[in-house]
Amino acid sequence: MPLAGAWGVGGGAGAGGGGWWWAGRLLCAVVLLGWAFLWALHCVALWAARWRLHRTPPHPPVGGGAGAGAGEQALPGVSVVKPLLGADPNLRANLATFFTMEYPHFELLFCVEEEADPAALVVRQLIEQHPLVSAKLVCSGGSRVGVNPKINNMQPALQQAAHAFLLISDAGVRMRPDTLLDMMAHMLQHDKVGLVHQMPFTCDRPGFAATFEKVYFGTAQARIYLAADLLRINCHVGMSSLVRREALDDIGGLAAFADYLAEDFFLAKALTAHGWRLRVAGQPAWQNAGSYSLTSFLERLHRWAQLRVSMLPLMILLEPLSECLVLGVAAALACRSLFGWEPAAVYLLHALAWFLSDWLLLCAAQQGPLPFSKFHFAIAWWLREAIGPSLFALALWKPRVRWRSRDYRIAWGGVAHEIKPKAKY
């Protein structure tokens, strides 16, 4: 009875029930405030996608080095660090885009754990095809500075990097010719900008799995990413990040975060704690993995949910209520309790408005025609919204994280411990 009254579906404030009644009214008000806040995030993200995404900030004329003329500024050199593991059908095409970047001075450092890695052959062939580009294959040889395999793979290359700026870029990212120029333009806006990162997005690829990925990264992910950037909230995803080496040294180097699987989050957190600024680049990170499926991407979403729960325990309460369908139910019941509105109508209007807002956000992120129909968007959108709460519940039920064929246990606070397989005798 008290719970029913709290949502306005039972009795009012009767004898002995006044405390529950007021508590219920307060709960409804809190739900509607959270509802309004999330709609404000929609508006902020749409504004950022329209006016900041795909836009390079103005900067002084730049030259290529010591011969820069009057009024020009030599662009600083960049060491591009690419951690690799295995080769998918698109790896060669993705890596080739780094050799043709329109940037005056950079080096490419490709990282593999062992010489026999299939990615090593692809890298050697590309280096032979582009003899004028400074590029090197670096084998980590099983070096270990922590549990994070990505950092372990990159550590020897980071020690060899020659330049004052580092671009850390995942294997599946494809570069446009002017992407590095765009990222450096954001970096040079202020001498306290320590990190410029790209919003995760995807290239156009065939199949429903690719549609689902693009819808996720262009709606749920883009909304939080763009709004968090404007609100100066840490949203860093490290698949493509330009970092100032001075800032990285200031926080102990990348090895200081080798005991975290979500090293990108804790790296950005440490930078801001030391007074460095973060910026989201104008261009998104174009993911173009050649091997993909709906199952593998759902596993990826599950792993991210596991990491969020361990890093930010408050998300256990807040994340489910940020989902469209769950929030719609809570808001509809709160509106009925406080205003007497029909909950079914409120819920349907909420879902329709959320759907249309996500469509507009995806179009802004794409900045061009979408490679699928509105019907396919609707299917992918509803599937993502329907399985979101269940993926989060599964992350709570199964806290063990599987990444790159290894299993990890994540302690509260985000520290990872690798679970070694039992020896067989």
Residue 12 has pLDDT above 60, yes or no: no
Query: Looking at the whole model, is its pTM more than 0.85?
Result: yes
Distance CA 230, CA 212 (A): 26
Task: Report the share of the chain in percent with pLDDT over 90.
Answer: 68
Residue with tokens 């700026």: 165
Q: What Rg value do the Cα atoms of the chain yield, rounded?
A: 24
Q: Report residue 3's pLDDT band, with 50, 70 and 90 as the boundaries.
A: very low
Lowest-pLDDT range, 246-255, 345-354, 390-399? Answer: 390-399
Reported as a single tens digit per residue, the pLDDT across 45-72 is 999 999 989 988 775 555 554 444 444 4
Q: Report residue 310's pLDDT band, with 50, 70 and 90 as the boundaries.
A: confident
Catalytic residue among 182, 229, 259, 264: 264
Q: Quick one: pLDDT at residue 19?
A: 74
Q: Which residues contact 252 (CB under 8 A, 6 or more apart)?
A: 270
Helices 324-339, 374-397: axis angle to 10 degrees equals: 90
Q: Quick one: pLDDT at residue 121?
A: 96
Return the amino acid letter for 301: L
Mean pLDDT of 1-21: 51
**Domain limits, CATH 3.90.550.10, in the chain:** 76-299
Mean pLDDT of 146-151: 92
Distance CA 138, CA 135 (A): 10
Name the DSSP letter for residue 415: B
Mean per-residue pLDDT over the chain, rounded: 88
Is residue 366 within 8 Å of residue 358, measured between CB atoms? no
Residue 42 has pLDDT above 70, yes or no: yes
Mean pLDDT of 398-407: 74
Encoding tokens for residue 14? 């009767």
Q: Quick one: pLDDT at residue 402?
A: 76
Lowest-pLDDT range, 233-237, 301-305, 342-346, 421-425? Answer: 421-425
Distance CA 102, CA 283 (A): 15
Distance CA 220, CA 226 (A): 10
Encoding tokens for residue 338? 């406080």
Q: Which helix (H) or strand (E) holds 418?
A: strand 416-419
Residue 16 has pLDDT above 80, yes or no: no
Phi, psi of 176 (to 5 degrees): -85, 155
Instruction: Select the more confidently predicted residue: 72 or 157.
Output: 157
Q: Quick one: pLDDT at residue 17?
A: 59
Q: Quick one: pLDDT at residue 4?
A: 42
Catalytic residue list contains 264: yes
Considering the domain delimited by 76-299, tell me its CATH architecture: Alpha-Beta Complex (3.90)
